[in-house]
Chain A
Amino acid sequence: ETGVTQSPTHLIKTRGQQVTLRCSSQSGHNTVSWYQQALGQGPQFIFQYYREEENGRGNFPPRFSGLQFPNYSSELNVNALELDDSALYLCASSPGLRSPLHFGNGTRLTVT
């Protein structure tokens, strides 16, 4: 039990739609990062939030955006969904930078 909860667990969307994925972290975890894992591949870093500000971003287009809230929850928003966005989306939180990561179980998104 990592104390990190993601919702929903599974989601099916149509190309062009928008989606919001949610992550609830442990109290005191002021760093959250999001990752995309395509089938059979390792996770890819999307972005990181630290104290409600985005402080790092991977090679993902602007239609991937996020928010972090004071209650240690966060969101990943994806606009204009494409078929290639089908993947497992993982969030991980930690009590600070350079601290051990605690992963959620992920949200599996299918875009048809």
Chain B
Amino acid sequence: KNEVEQSPQNLTAQEGEFITINCSYSVGISALHWLQQHPGGGIVSLFMLSSGKKKHGRLIATINIQEKHSSLHITASHPRDSAVYICAVIMSASYDKVIFGPGTSLSVIP
């Protein structure tokens, strides 16, 4: 069993739909990142969370530390949101060891 899991693995949505991507983890963490990776490789950090909820534009991220679960929501999805979304946890250790989830490939169709 992987230490960080995501669902769904692949997601196709119509433009305008509300999208939810889930992340669950089994290790103790100090924080969690939601990352966006476009074809070609570059990664952008969307959020870093250690508790509660954060919102940036059409993106909302939540985390429940007790349940070891986080969600990324995209409201009013747009084709430019098409990318791979990766959940990455920073382990509770003396250094920032980061464990990445397998990613969710999102395709938003016009």
Residues of A within 8 A of B (CB): 2, 31, 33, 35, 37, 41-45, 48, 50, 55-56, 58, 88, 90, 92, 94, 97-106, 108
Contact = CB atoms under 8 A, between A and B. Distances in A.
Main secondary structure of the interface of B (DSSP, over half): strand
A104 B42 CA distance: 6
A87 B80 CA distance: 26
Q: Which of A41, A88, A97, A101 has the most CB of B within 10 A?
A: A101
Contact of B30 (A42, A50, A98): A98
A108 B41 CA distance: 9
B86 A98 contact: no
A103 B95 contact: no
Interface of B: 30-31, 33, 35, 40-45, 48, 86, 88, 90, 93-103
B16 to A, nearest CB: 29
Contacts of A105: 40-42
B95 A55 contact: yes
A59 to B, nearest CB: 11
Nearest to B103: A42
B99 A45 contact: yes
A100 B48 contact: yes
A98 B102 contact: no
A31 B94 CA distance: 13
B86 A42 contact: yes
B41 A48 contact: no
Contacts of B93: 56
Contacts of A97: 95-96
B94 A33 contact: no
Given A56-B93, A98-B30, A103 B44 contact: yes
